[in-house]
Amino acid sequence: MLTFFKKYRIFFIVFFIISAIILSLFYNALKPAKTLKVYSPSDVNPELVDTTIQYVARNHKIADFAFVNQNGDTITQNDYKGKIYVADFFFTTCPTICPIMTDNMEWLQDKIKDNPKVMLLSHSVTPDIDSVPVLKAYAEKKGVIDAKWNLVTGNKKDIYYIARKSYLAVKTTTSSELYDMVHTENFILVDQEGRIRGFYNGTNLDEDVPGEKNVKQLLEDINWLCEHEK
């Protein structure tokens, strides 16, 4: 028996290699192809969605907008036309989750800074505090690259409605103050057509947590969009 195996050992080695290759090909062929869901208001926690659109189940896109960035420039949807971008909501005086979110957005900026297809967009939820000079100082402190990442302020009502009617990303408050909102930790991935393709925990860089996606997974999905949806 030993002599038999010695005689045909090359055959067996080649056989096992070919078998492994064939099994690998079958596995890859049968493995479901990756896709990214297109989100609508009906897919999202109703607390984050304006009541007028909570049951909308298709054709949801980010509405037109006009805000002012850290350099005093007006930023509109045209600046993001045909781009993949990540949006979030924050405020410069936030002592809790915002610093972590901003650090993770800065990490993301470093990864996409040489990719002309991708941009970032952060909206202040306290525009009465976050003036252009305040945003500029914050941007400089956080290493914001102006061509990649806009920190924007504007009319509070407009920010409220873009958050709840477009990005599906903030909760209302019990405050009597009109258009007050509580932002979430979400980073929102928007594709080239202005559709939401994912929500990610902006405070979680790389930890695996059941039921949520982290920022490194966001980067993977950005790269997938760049490669597969042009």
Residue ranges at the known binding site for Cu cation: 94, 98, 183
Q: First-to-last CA distance in the chain?
A: 59
Q: Which two tokens mark 1? A: 């028996």
How many H helices and E strands in the chain? Answer: 6, 9
- In this structure, is the dihedral angle defined by the CA atoms of residues 78, 79, 85 and 91, taken in order, positive or negative? negative
Q: Quick check: 219 and 227 in contact, CB under 8 A?
A: no
Specify the 3-state DSSP secondary structure of 219: helix
Q: What is the CA radius of gyration of the chain?
A: 23
> Could you give the CA distance from residue 60 to residue 79 in angstroms, rounded to a whole number?
20
- Binding site, by residue number, is 94, 98, 183
The owner of tokens 């958050």 is 163
Secondary structure letter of residue 153 according to DSSP: B
Q: Quick check: 121 and 86 in contact, CB under 8 A?
A: yes
